């Protein structure tokens, strides 16, 4: 995907998809991925790619852990020998 200039525009057709109004996005305006965020600002519709959420974002969204963690220095059971 190439960078798009801010003032680049193209006329598109609106159509119905069930009860929803839809628009085909021309190839030069394609967004990465298969999800996007849409918002309305006045008469404008803004469509942006949905940011991928990774482990760090998920961890930031979690509530603090109130329970005590087990002592990891406790003696573990001896390893099992699985050799033949």
Residue 39 lies in a domain: yes
- Looking at the 3D structure of the chain, how many domains does it have? 1
Residue 47 lies in a domain: yes
Residue 71 lies in a domain: no
**Total-model pTM:** 0.51
Full residue range of the structural domain in which residue 18 is found: 14-61
Task: Using the structure block, give the residue that is written with the tokens 């790619």.
Answer: 49
CB burial of 12-49 (b: ≥16 within 10 Å; e: otherwise) equals: eeeeeeeeeeeeeeeeeeeeeeeeeeeeeeeeeeeeee
- The model's pLDDT over 46-81, given as tens digits with 9 standing for 90+, comes to 999 988 778 888 888 888 888 887 777 667 777 888
- Top pLDDT among 35 and 7 is at 35
């Amino acid at each position: 995907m190439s960078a798009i200039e801010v003032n680049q525009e193209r006329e598109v057709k609106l159509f119905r998809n069930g009860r929803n109004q839809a628009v085909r996005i021309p190839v030069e305006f394609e967004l990465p991925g298969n999800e996007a965020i849409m918002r309305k600002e006045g008469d404008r519709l803004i469509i942006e790619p949905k940011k991928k959420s990774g482990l760090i974002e998920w961890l930031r969204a979690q509530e603090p852990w109130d329970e005590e963690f087990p002592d990891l220095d406790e003696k573990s059971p001896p390893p099992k020998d699985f050799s033949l």
